[in-house]
Amino acid sequence: MSDRLFIFDTTLRDGEQVPGCQLNTVEKIQVAKQLELLGVDVIEAGFPISSPGDFNSVVEISKAVTWPTICALTRAVEKDIDCAAEALKYAKHKRIHTGIGTSDSHIKYKFNSNREEIIERAVAAVKYAKKYVEDVEFYAEDAGRTDNEYLARVVEAVVKAGATVVNIPDTTGYCLPEEYGAKIKYLMEHVDGIENARISTHCHNDLGMATANTLQGVLNGARQVEVTMNGIGERAGNTSLEEIAMILKCHKHLNIDTNINTTKIVPMSRMVSSLMNMPVQPNKAIVGRNAFAHSSGIHQDGVLKNVQTYEIIDPKDVGLDDNAIVLTARSGRAALKYRLHVNGVNVEDEEKLDKIYKKFLQLADKKKEVTDEDVLMLAGADSADKHGVQLDWLQVTTGKGVKSVASIGLNIAGQKFEAASSGNGPVDAAIRALKKVITKEMNLKEFTIQAIDKGSDDVGKVHMQVEYDGHVYYGFGADTDIVTASVEAYIDCINKFKVR
């Protein structure tokens, strides 16, 4: 009989904390429903006290999702816990995740407190949360750098107070795998009453060891893992869900199972990447575009003779569809709708589908084959339509030995504007022209261009950060023309100025 490992997904909380990855409530519901289909056990839906948007998302996800437990994060503070309980009102299965820093540096610098007082606050928070829900998870923030003997005392106290799950975060991603594994083992062996709770891992990837640490935690007794899709999360991210799920699937001898339907992994990964405008690195394990691409002659030869020579995972097991329909300019609405559906985006509204289809035809005109990544990008880009500023047209003259000149046509809430400028390269010229129409004091802070797929006819994705009025705004644009994509990204930032 194998052991069951519970998957706690925090894409919508720890993952969503990443600058530029913020989703609106509708998008979060879309992700949560797909996580349900993927088979996660717990969805951490947000930190309700942090903003009305987060509160509302927890409420709406609670309504939309049936099987997974919905979890809300709090500090060890009564008003946070009240707020989380209120946000979880509609959840069929609910959990409050409360906690406090336990490392000496957190105790001293963050709380100006001492070890005994921290235990009292931890116990009080758990008891307070228990008034609202049966299922209370406690996190010992910076447990990775907390002395094991003291950590065991904290864990024992919160389990006695009623915590059902105890989370041992390596908040800073500092631990070595054997060190983290030994920590979990120590708790399993030294905490009285540990059989009444489940230990959870929560590893950050600052030193690239999040998955290794999580696995060591599991091998030493943890039976819940906190993970995100594509490993997104604070700084270098969290442990990625797909890596843990596939490690356990590939290494059956470990005798540990999850409820994950692995064939949903790739669509889930693409949906998160597309909605969050967060590209997946091409060589990312399991979900990177090169994860199953054999490029060297020796490897190709081996795989053709027998796939097992170089492939440990059948691509179909993670939902990579060999027979994916390639969309071209001749594909109809139904084919587009189907590709979106396969990738986890259901477009029921015919008007919305029409808009995406129109953009699809424009793209298919410029590109021979439209890939899954392209259609997801088009579906995401559709949300930009309702914004105030829109790019009507753009013309750029550039080349070697000539000055770049751009003319631009903008539609601002129904009114048409035009301007022209020269500049130091085509993007600079286009942005200078844009700034002649929108004369706000704004500065470009960061600018990255990335190709979605391969080939010179590919769509370029542009991420930008623009500073305005003391805040930094994140924008995204995509087009086969990178100057247009850059202007779209700049406009995306401008359109966010208002919502702050």
Q: Within 13 Å and on the Cβ side, how many CA atoms surround 251?
A: 9
Q: Which of residues 44 and 479 has its CB atom nearest to ligand KIV in the complex?
A: 44
Closest to 447 measured CA to CA, from 481, 419, 483, 480? 483
Checking DSSP bridges between strand 460-468 and strand 442-451, what pairing results, if any?
antiparallel
What is the dihedral angle through the alpha carbons of 58, 59, 65, 67, rounded to the nearest 10 degrees?
80
DSSP code for 108: I
The residue ranges that bind ligand KIV (CB under 6 A) are 14, 139, 141, 167, 169, 171, 202, 204
As a dihedral over the C-alpha atoms of residue 177, residue 178, residue 183, residue 189, rounded to 10 degrees, the angle is 140
Residue 216: CB atoms within 10 A of its CB come to: 24
Query: Smallest distance, Å, CB 235 to ligand KIV?
Result: 10
Contact 484, 394 (CB under 8 A): yes
* Residue of 9, 14, 142, 479 interacting with Zn ion (CB under 5 A): 14
Residue 460 binding partner per list ligand KIV, Zn ion, none, with a CB distance cut-off of 5 to 8 Å that depends on partner kind? none
Least distance (Å) from Zn ion to the CB of residue 13? 8
CB of 244 to ligand KIV, least distance (A): 16
Residue pair 197/164 in contact by the 8 Å Cβ criterion: yes
> How remote is the C-alpha of 466 from its chain's centroid?
22
In whole angstroms, the minimum distance from the beta carbon of 491 to ligand KIV comes to 33
Q: How far is the CB of 486 from ligand KIV (least distance, A)?
A: 34
Q: How far apart are CA 225 and CA 204, in angstroms?
A: 12
Which one, 204 or 463, has the nearer CB to ligand KIV? Answer: 204
The four Cα atoms 424, 430, 434, 440 give a dihedral, to 10 degrees, of -40
**Cα separation of 71 and 477, whole Å?**
33
Q: Answer yes or no: is 56 a known binding residue.
A: no
Q: Which does 141 bind (CB under 5 to 8 A by kind): ligand KIV, Zn ion, none?
A: ligand KIV
Count of other CB atoms within 10 angstroms of residue 3: 11
Classify 419 as helix, strand or coil: strand
Question: Residue 214 Cβ, how far from ligand KIV at the closest point, in Å?
Answer: 13
Handedness of CA 22, 26, 32, 37 (dihedral sign): negative
Residue with smaller CB distance to ligand KIV, 55 or 139: 139
Binding-site partner at residue 46 among Zn ion, ligand KIV, none, CB < 5 to 8 Å by type: none
137 binds Zn ion, rule: CB under 5 A: no
144 binds, among Zn ion, ligand KIV, none (CB under 5 to 8 A by kind): none
Which entry of ligand KIV, Zn ion, none binds 242, CB below 5 to 8 A by partner kind? Answer: none
Please tell me whether residue 54 binds Zn ion under the rule CB under 5 A: no
* Binding partner selected for residue 139 from Zn ion, ligand KIV, none, CB under the kind-specific 5 to 8 Å limit: ligand KIV
Q: How far is it, in rounded angstroms, from Cα 109 to Cα 125? A: 20
Size of site (CB under 5 A) for Zn ion: 1
Query: Taking the complex as a whole, how short is the minimal distance between the CB of residue 369 and ligand KIV, in angstroms?
Result: 40
Using CB distances below 5 to 8 A depending on partner kind, what does residue 475 bind out of ligand KIV, Zn ion, none?
none
How far is the C-alpha of 256 from the C-alpha of 201, rounded, in Å? 15
Distance, CA of 256 to CA of 75 (rounded, Å): 32
> Is 238 labelled a binding residue?
yes
Q: Compute the radius of gyration of the chain from its Cα atoms.
A: 25
- CB nearer to ligand KIV: pick between 110 and 368: 110
Does the protein bind Zn ion through residue 44 (CB under 5 A)?
no
Which segment (11-19, 333-341, 346-354, 405-413) binds Zn ion by CB under 5 A? 11-19
Q: Which is nearer to Zn ion, 232 or 489 (CB)?
A: 232
Binding-site annotation, residues: 14, 202, 204, 238
Binding-site annotation, residues for Mn(2+): 14, 202, 204, 238
Q: Which residues bind Zn ion (CB under 5 A)?
A: 14
